[in-house]
A = this chain, B = another copy of it.
Amino acid sequence: MAKQSMIKGASKPIPEPVLRRLPVYYQYLRKLNLESPREYISCAKIAEDLNNLAIQVRKDMEFTGAQGRPKVGYRVTELLKAIEIFLGWDNTTEAYLVGAGNLGFALLGYQGFKDYGLNIIAAFDSSADKIGREVYGKKILPVKKLPDMIRRTGIKIGILTAPASCAQELADAMLGAGIKAIWNFAPVKISVPAGIIVQHENLASSLAVLSKRLALLLAER
């Protein structure tokens, strides 16, 4: 099966690169709103501050359906709203986190998620000295209760921050109980049936880009 770099199914398919840039604009505009608020903004200004091209910003914004006014630009609040709605960040999606290690704790404590419509309801772990604790206001529950909780709450997103060695097993448990999307931070590829979404965060891929760039930079002279 071929991979899909294009997100299909929508009226207009959205290129993944666009989808990855929209949050960057969103973060930028929110920060701008706090630090030096203004009613309107042009693509040229956004592009300049974010170090890319105005035409790309304009094209990207087109996907969200946001409309600007010639000579004036886009109303900042409208732009923010358009991105929010487009990404589905205007209403909250609930998720469970599985694996309450350091990374799990970091994600539980990340305040940004609520801006992106993601609410981690609870965490699950198998270790007795973690179960029962409360971290950043979120309960750590025994992992054997996970399937039951997923069924009862109908939660669709699982955030997997367990060690590689038990990632597949935990993924299977989640999927069996009705999870539809797994955000996988475990450093291992997990196999899932068709129709299930896996978003794999691979540190090694990022590191490869970083180390190659650095090697080229240092080799320049």
Q: Is the CB–CB distance between A180 and B217 below 8 Å?
A: yes
Which residues of A, 85-129, contact B by the 8 Å Cβ criterion?
Answer: 87-89, 93, 101-103, 105-106, 109-110, 112-113, 116-118
Chain A contact residues (Cβ within 8 angstroms of B): what range?
35 or more
Is A72 close to B, CB under 8 A? no
Chain B nearest CB from A81 CB (Å) reads: 16
Q: Is the CB–CB distance between A19 and B208 below 8 Å?
A: yes
Is A181 close to B, CB under 8 A? yes
Segment touching B, from A4-12, A37-45, A140-148, A169-177: A4-12
Chain B residues near A117 (CB-CB < 8 A): 211
Q: Is the CB–CB distance between B23 and A208 below 8 Å?
A: yes
Chain B residues near A50 (CB-CB < 8 A): 189
Q: Is the CB–CB distance between A211 and B93 below 8 Å?
A: yes
Is A73 close to B, CB under 8 A? no
Q: Is the CB–CB distance between B7 and A216 below 8 Å?
A: yes
Given A3-B51, A88-B215, A102-B102, check contact A23 B93 (CB 8 Å).
no
Chain B residues near A160 (CB-CB < 8 A): none
Q: Is the CB–CB distance between B180 and A218 below 8 Å?
A: yes
Is A201 close to B, CB under 8 A? yes
Q: Is the CB–CB distance between B213 and A181 below 8 Å?
A: yes
Point out residues on A near B: beta carbons under 8 Å: 1-3, 7-10, 14, 16, 19-24, 26-28, 31, 50-53, 87-89, 93, 101-103, 105-106, 109-110, 112-113, 116-118, 156-157, 180-181, 183, 187-189, 195, 197, 199, 201-220
User: Contacts A116-B204, A197-B213 given; 6 further ones with Cβ under 8 A?
Assistant: A19-B212, A103-B103, A110-B203, A118-B211, A181-B217, A199-B213
Sorted nearest first, the 3 A-B pairs with minimum C-beta distance are A23-B204, A102-B106, A103-B106
